[in-house]
Chains A and B, each alone.
Chain A
Amino acid sequence: MINKVVSGAEEAIKDISDGATLMLGGFGLCGIPENCINALVSKQVKNLTCISNNAGVDDFGIGLMLKQRQVKKMISSYVGENAEFERQLLSGELEVDLIPQGTLATRCLAAGYGMPAIFTPAGVGTEVAEGKEVRNFDGKDYLMEYAFDADFAIVKAWKGDTAGNLIFRSTSRNFNPVMAMAGKVTIAEVEELVEAGELDPDYIHTPGIYVHRIFQGKDYEKRIEQRTVRKSEV
C-alpha cells in the first residue's frame, strides 16, 4: 500500500504557486473542496487558471478567490450565481472561457483516460466553435475539443482511505471523479478518512492511483444555494 496521507489542506497545496492551472470539483456549492479553497485564499497564490463548472457565490467557494483577484482565468460552464464574477467578466478584468458543461466534463474524462481529444456536437454552429476543427461523422458535425492539461486537480469526496481510494456521496459526486482522474497532481479532501482495507473495493468510485494526496477535511459548511422544501404532510 502506498500511503497518500498528508496532514491537511496547507500541506496538500504547499507547492501550488502563482500561475498554476487548477481543476476544482463541485457543482454550484455542492461537493466543493472547501478546505483547500480556504487554504488557497490564505496562501494568496495569484494568476491562477481555474477549471470548475461554476465560480461559487460572492462569499463562498471560488468566489472567495475571485474577490481577492487570485484568478486570472476561469474555465466554466455556468457562472450565473456570482455577481462579482459577472462584474469582472463584463469589465474585462477576468479572462473567462465559457464552455458547454458536457464538454467540460468530457475534456476531464479524456485527460484521465489518456486520450488527447474528443469529438462532441455541443457548440457546433455557435461562437464556441470559433477556431476549432470540425469533423463530420455519419452526416453530423462534431467539434474537436482537447483534453484538459491541469497542474492540480482538487476534489472533495465523502470517504477515502490512506491508499487514496475515494467514495462520493449523492450528487456531490458531480465533477469530482472525472477531475480526480485528470490532474497531474490530484489532491482529495474527504469527510472521513479510514485505513486502507476498510472500504470495500467493489464500491470505490475513484481508484487511489489517481490520487496523490489525501486528508480528512474539517469544519465543512456545505452551504445550500437554493433551499427548497415542501410542507410536512400531517
Chain B
Amino acid sequence: MFSKEEIAQRIAKEIKDGYYVNLGIGIPTLVANYIPKGINVVLQSENGLLGMGPFPFEGEEDADLINAGKQTITTLPGSSIFDSAMSFGMIRAQKVDLTILGAMEVSETGDIANWKIPGKMVKGMGGAMDLVASAKNIIVAMQHINKAGESKLLPKCTLPLTGVKCIKKIVTELAVLDILPEGGFKLLERAPGVSIEFIQQSTAGRLVVEGEIPEMRLD
C-alpha cells in the first residue's frame, strides 16, 4: 500500500518536460518534491504566480509571497506574477497542461466531489471548480477507501459535485486507474503487495480489469 508521499511520487512520473502544472492542496503539493531531474516544469499557483519555487530559507519569508495554500514560498528565474482574473484566464484557456488535485469522491463517469460535506464541513471550492471544468488533463490524488474502509470510488458521487465527467486518471494508495469514456474504473497498476481482489473489494464503482496488472513502480 502506498503512503501519501508514494502517491505523489507516482503522479510525478506523469509530468512531462515543458509542462505548466497546477498543484492542489494536500497530496498534490507533495508532487513538487518528486519532479524527475532534467525535466523543466513550471508550477502555477492560482493566487497569481507562475514559476513557484521552494519554501524560503528561515528568516527570508515574505508575507507578500505565498502559494494557493497560503504557504510562504519563493520565485524562480523566469517567474511571473499576475492578478487572479488572469490566473483563471490561463486556466480556462487551457494554457495549463496538467492539474493535480485531491478528492473526497470520484464516480465511475469521472464526476468529482471535493468541496463540501453538507451540514458538517464547508470550506468552499476555491479554484477547484474552475480547474476541473477547464483543464484538459486532470489527475486526482486520493485515498481509495476512508478510515471506515468504505470506497471513495463510487458508481455515483454522494457529496455535492465539484465537476462533471472531467476526471480521467486517479492515483490512490492502492492503484492507478483510468476512467473509461463509457464509464468505469480501468485498473492500470496496483500498489506493491496489493491484490486485484482487494482493489475490487475497495472499489464500489465498476472496476474493469483486463490482462496483467503490473505493480506500480516509482523509479
A interface with B by C-beta (< 8 Å)? 27-31, 53, 76-81, 86, 89-90, 96, 98-106, 108-109, 120-128, 158, 168-178, 205, 222-233
Contact = CB atoms under 8 A, between A and B. Distances in A.
Given A102-B130, A125-B163, A79 B70 contact: no
A68 B119 CA distance: 24
Contacts of A99: 125
A124 B72 contact: no
B73 interface: yes
B63 to A, nearest CB: 4
A41 to B, nearest CB: 21
Contact of A102 (B71, B73, B88): B88
Given A76-B124, A102-B91, 5 more contacts: A27-B70, A77-B124, A90-B119, A122-B92, A226-B71
A56 to B, nearest CB: 12
Contacts of A105: 83-85, 87-88
Most chain A CB neighbours (cut-off 10 Å) among B59, B81, B82, B124: B124
B88 A171 contact: no
A30 B59 CA distance: 18
Interface string B88-132: 110110000000000000000001000110011111111111100
Tell me if A's interface is mostly helix, strand, loop or mixed. Answer: loop
Contact of B122 (A90, A106, A109, A230): A90
Contacts of B64: 30-31, 158, 169-172, 222
A53 to B, nearest CB: 7
Most chain B CB neighbours (cut-off 10 Å) among A105, A128, A172, A223: A105
B74 to A, nearest CB: 9
Given A105-B88, A228-B55, A232-B58, A78 B125 contact: yes
B188 to A, nearest CB: 26
Contact of A226 (B48, B57, B72, B128): B72
A127 B164 CA distance: 11
Contacts of B121: 86
B19 to A, nearest CB: 20
B121 to A, nearest CB: 8
Interface of B: 45-49, 54-73, 75, 81-85, 87-89, 91-92, 111, 115-116, 119-130, 133-134, 160-165
Contact of A53 (B71, B82, B84, B115): B84
Contacts of A31: 64
Given A102-B127, A126-B160, A170-B65, A121 B47 contact: no
Nearest to B67: A171
A229 B57 CA distance: 5
A36 to B, nearest CB: 18
Nearest to B123: A80
A7 to B, nearest CB: 26
Most chain A CB neighbours (cut-off 10 Å) among B61, B111, B126: B126
B65 A126 contact: no
A121 B83 contact: no
Nearest to B121: A86
A80 B127 CA distance: 13
Contacts of A81: 70
Contacts of B55: 228-230
Nearest to A57: B70
A102 B92 contact: yes
Contact of A100 (B59, B65, B69, B127): B127
A208 to B, nearest CB: 17
A175 B47 CA distance: 8
Given A30-B70, A124-B164, A178 B85 contact: yes
5 contacts: A100-B126, A101-B88, A105-B87, A171-B65, A224-B72
Contacts of B62: 170
A173 B123 contact: no
Given A226-B69, A226-B71, A106 B134 contact: no
Nearest to A169: B64
